[in-house]
Structure 1
Amino acid sequence: MSPLESAVLGLYFLTLVILAVFGLHRYIMVYLYFRNGGRRARPVPLPDRLPRVTVQLPLYNEMYVVDRLIDSVTRIRYPKDRLEIQVLDDSTDETCAIAQAAVERHRAHGFDIHYVRRDERRGFKAGALDDGLKAATGEFVLIFDADFVAPPEILEATLGHFTDPDVGMVQVRWGHINRDYSLLTQVQSVLLDGHFILEHGGRNRSGRFFNFNGTAGVWRRQAIADAGGWQHDTLTEDLDLSYRAQMRGWRFVFVQDVVCPAEIPVEMNAFKSQQHRWAKGCIQVCRKLLPRILASRLALAIKVEAAFHLTANFAYPLMILLSLLMFPAMVIRYNMGWYEMMVVDVPLFIGATLSVCSFYLMSQREVFGEDWRSRVKYLPAVLAVGIGLSVNNAKAVLEALLGLDSEFTRTPKYRVEGAGDDWKQKRYRGTPSLVPFVELMLGAYFSLMAYYAASNAILGPLPFIFLFQAGFLYAAMMSLFQGVGKLDLVREQEA
């Protein structure tokens, strides 16, 4: 075996082992969730003296959903004289007029609601929240993004937890208004359910750190200030503030039984844009805070989990590296008659696949109860889409590592709630990029690999090759077809 062939195989197996460690971590999350089931957050009665609460609604070009959002907030069950609503609008389109009209309409019905507009969109969402906080009168701050619908009971279900003076934030679970709209929304709903149920649930129940998700959560205002306030040097200001606050000793609570419905992106480019922002922001926070976390006096279990949490997106560049190495590693072993060595990597692939399947099946069982079996059919798509995101999210990770700044790119919302709703005729669109063309090349690469494996009766890796092929081609074709059609429509509307 030549030195080059040895290097290829060595790097291939090293990459597989590292990814297997990330897969093992999923099993640990499932274990922590069920092992600490008795520590699930229980309902706590409201305090005798109801505190004043400020609701902040940061907006940027949300013409299709702003009315739905504001109307839902006014239906929250809480005394009007104890509730302040701030509509923080940085929009540059018709959203401004729609939001102002909604504010005036609800003010006429006795709500303490304000329309707040800045001269400059400095700091994006974090800047808007920080500016709004300067004028806020609430002891607690409830935040909603534009694609959410506030559940009427949210304050009744969360404020009681703040009777513990150490609690700094309470997060509720996201629901999905348009879960059944398409295969893409079904996949996203499974991914999000796993994040909230098992990651948030497992971390919170076991005393590890978890994060505010930027929306559908209540902050103690004092905790925000004590942690240094909203900062906009990362794209995930929510994750950043969450870790800074918990490092200061504030305790977070995840209320799993309260669900806040939200609209899932229905278009692939919008989904990728959202994922890119989350992945890049997470690595930015990793660079900013992980050294401080590891050097702190926090418990070892908290440090280890924080390291897994903040480095999880490194799996995406590793997936790209693995994708490139799979073919030459297979050819080298086949040509040398080392087919038996595939008994090493095939079990690793199976183990990693089973970890993902087990993780998401457990979350679906928690959400759907006895009907969880109806969700099994989406698991192949969940696996494929996770692979298909690798190029997009690996790009985000590399940008963060290189210190490349980028604008906070909003996720387009179309008020798509049911199967009959159309988004293609609406103005907003996801940000196109060259990523789909890289995905197409990888899809073609795996097609060639599948042909080689089938021609030489190398059958063990074929299911995984097909999974990678499907993931990259699905991500590419959806991005190109949806993006081109949407771009043509936007040009017609602007003409």
Structure 2
Amino acid sequence: MTVVAFVVLAIYTFSLLYITVYCLLQFNLLYHYKQEGPTVEPPALPAGAATGTSLKRSTGATTLTAYTTKQPRISGIDLAPAAPPRFPFVTVQLPIYNELYVIGRLIDAVAAFDYPRDRYEIHILDDSTDETVALVAEKVKYYRARGYQIKQIIRAERQGYKAGALRDGTQLAGGEFIAIFDADFVPEPSFLRRTIPYFTDPTVGVVQTRWEHLNEDYSLITRLQALQLNVHFTVEQVGRMNGGHLLQFNGTAGVWRRAAIDAGGGWQPDTLTEDLDLSIRSQLAGYKIRYLERVGSPAELPVEMNSFKSQQHRWMKGGAETARKMLPDVWHSELALGHKVQATAHLLASSIFLFVFLCGVFSVPLLFLFSELAQYGFSKNFFALFLAGLLSVIGIYYVANVQSVANKEKNFAKSVFKFVFLFPLFLALSMGLSLHNSVAVLQGYRGKKSPFVRTPKFNISTVRDKLKSKKYLSGKLNLITVGEGVLCVYFLFAVWGAFYLQNTTFVVFHALLALGYGAIFFFSVKHLGLAK
């Protein structure tokens, strides 16, 4: 029994140590987030030109009007530099697959860009197999009649899924720059005007904007998703940029320099996160990514649990696949050691769920083995050393969801109250996803291939909107969901055990795990009924 006790303790402690180190590296990004980033000078204009320019449409013609280039700085991010003296040609790619409910909204938004109409084209990379094809055809016909350069591009075979569509679409793109939007986004009219000027720096290969949430207040599930995503699109992205680390193009709501795509080896379909993959390759080839925290691109969050889980599976498995593929290149590169360490933490981020899962599962037998370990002088106070990781997470999420640029205009007291209420529930949800995400991570590291499964969206923006159709939803119960129900019972037993043994060391931890697994199980089963 003593051997078993020390084996359990070793696995638990190693998992907790991994989580703590990862959290401290994240805290380092928070430190950089709070620092001033490098100053971005506005591009030079021709002699006699105004000190800055913005676009204005008047009677169908494009004119330039002056505006000031003096720019405030928040969290190291400058407002967009002045528009360049010319408007480079841009290809806007919309890679889609069966997006009946949202593609029309996206096409309308892109057509509303306040960028000279003769200086951008719209390519709808349509791999759809349903009524979406006809809907897109009608939209293309409508906008072509109004003078837009817009095409519906249909491939004979859907090879390589989204990466394959982007790879094939790049060969047809006429733009020096390529903007990409997933179907659930609704970019602002000023998107190109606010992003293209950053490419006056020839080393910038990508400009990425911050994801905003159209339906954040729809449900508790969407609020918790927003809480999590806000960390990546504030502390992580800005922190990496200010620290000179490798960043990430997020697959949508960004613009690529065509030359940076080519330098990185082009879109490759051998991972489910082709965006992260090409991001790393293009940066190792010498280009950098510019992240704009102050430029938001609204998008729709998944509103039902199984769609959310399918998105998580793709991101976690794809992250593991990309780590398996790119970590050797990172460590053989000429990056400084600190940048290599942060890049490694970035690529291994999905692995955190595996260690959360192990930590949770092994904490239960550890609870019942404390008396055995105590004979050898072991004290449960030892675990207090790992509180630094939890405090780091609290600080990071607080800054991202209360103090960030996106929250500057919101009521401070209300934001704090919302954070205090949601953060414990977020911890529970994250821990409840650890079984599901661990399976995805292990599949990624094993090299098991699976298709790119899109996340269905239904044009739901407010609490008044409802699912109008069961189309695109799956109604199958899987073993992982059953396992989540079993783990809920397992951790409820642990809560009972804490009071039975009069050892409450893990009681809050186990209660959150029971809540998280129980909620994931409940909503997964409940939302299966939507597809029936």
| TM superposition score category, shorter chain reference | over 0.9
Question: Of 381, 384, 407, which aligns to 1:343?
Answer: 381
Query: Where does residue 25 of structure 1 map in the other structure?
Result: 25
In structure 2, relative to structure 1, the CA distance for the partners of 1:329 and 1:375 (3 Å cut) is: same
TM-score w.r.t. length of structure 2: 0.89
Runs (4 or more) in structure 1 with deviation over 6 Å come to none
What are the Cα deviations for residues 379-424 of structure 1, in whole angstroms up to 9, with x where unaligned? 0111111111101110111101111000000000011111011126
Which residue of the partner structure matches residue 368 of structure 1? 407
Does the CA-based 8 Å contact 1:412-1:430 persist in structure 2?
A: no
| The one of 413, 420, 440 aligned to 1:396 | 440
Partner of residue 218, structure 1: 255
Question: Alpha carbons of 1:336 and 1:171: their partners in 2 closer, same or farther (altered >3 Å)?
Answer: closer
3-state SS of paired residue (2:473): coil
1:101 is the counterpart of 2:145: no
For 1:43-88, what per-residue CA distance to the aligned partner results, in whole angstroms no more than 9, with x for missing partners? 2111111100000001100000010000000011111110100011
**Alignment partners' CA distance in 2, 1:41 and 1:435:** 45
Partner residue in 2 for 1:456: 501
Asked if the contact 1:57/1:86 (under 8 Å) is kept, the reply is yes
1:437 aligns with 2:474: no
Q: Would the aligned equivalents of 1:388 and 1:471 in 2 still touch at CA under 8 Å?
A: yes
Hey, what does 2:113 align to over in structure 1?
Answer: 76
Where does residue 493 of structure 1 map in the other structure?
none
Deviates more, 1:28-37 or 1:469-478: 28-37
Q: Decide whether the 8 Å contact of 1:41 with 1:253 is kept in 2.
A: no
In structure 2, distance between residues paired with 1:252 and 1:335? 53
Answer with 138-147 or 33-42: which moved more: 33-42
Percent identity of equivalent pairs = 41
SS at match of 2:431: helix
Q: Secondary structure at 1:208's aligned position in 2?
A: coil
* Correspondence for 1:491: none
Q: Give ranges in structure 2 of 5+ residues lacking alignment.
A: 39-75
Equivalent-residue separation in structure 2 for 1:301 and 1:455 (angstroms): 47
Distance 1:181 1:374 in 2: 18
1:370-385 counterparts in 2 under 5 A?
A: 370-371=411-412, 372-376=415-419, 377-385=421-429
Matched, 1:310 2:347: yes
Aligned partners of 2:199, 2:24: CA distance in 1, in Å? 35
One-letter amino acid matched to 2:381? V
Partner of 1:255: 292
* Residue 481 (str. 1) matches residue 518 (str. 2): no
Aligned residue pairs total 486
CA separation of 1:167/1:443 partners in 2, compared to 1, >3 Å: closer, same or farther? Answer: same
CA contact (8 A) 1:424 1:486 kept: no
2:194 is equivalent to residue 157 of structure 1: yes
More helix by share: 1
**Equivalent residues of 1:223, 1:245 under 8 A apart:** yes
**Helix, strand or coil: the match of 2:150?**
strand
Decide whether the 8 Å contact of 2:241 with 2:247 is kept in 1: yes
Indicate if the aligned counterparts of 2:219 and 2:303 stay in contact, CA closer than 8 A.
yes
Residue-by-residue CA offset, 1:452-494 (whole Å, 9 max, x unaligned)? 10122222321111111111111111111111x1231xxxxxx
The 5-angstrom pairing of residues 76-225 of structure 1 reads 76-225=113-262
Supply the AA of the counterpart residue of 1:368. N
Task: Give, in whole Å, the separation in 1 of the partners of 2:378 and 2:196.
Answer: 60
Q: With structure 1 as the length reference, what TM-score do the two structures score?
A: 0.95
Paired amino acid for 1:407 = P
In 2, are the aligned partners of 1:346 and 1:460 still within 8 Å (CA)? no
Q: Which amino acid aligns with 2:503?
A: I
Contact map agreement 2:253 2:297 (CA 8 A) in 1: yes
State the partner residue of 2:42. Answer: none
Gapped regions of structure 1 (runs ≥ 5):
489-495
What value does the CA root-mean-square deviation take over the aligned residues?
1.6
Using the TM superposition, name which of 446-455 and 11-20 deviates more.
11-20
Q: What's the CA shift string for 1:11-60, capped at 9, x where partnerless?
A: 22122111111121221111111123564243211111110000000110
Conserved? CA contact 2:216–2:301, under 8 Å: yes
Whether the 8 Å CA contact 2:2–2:373 is kept in 1: the answer is no
CA distance in 2, matches of 1:418, 1:274: 21
d(CA) in 1 for partners of 2:105, 2:417: 31
Residue 264 (structure 2) aligns with: 227
Deviation at 1:346, TM superposition (A): 4.8
Q: Which residue of 1 aligns with 2:2?
A: 2
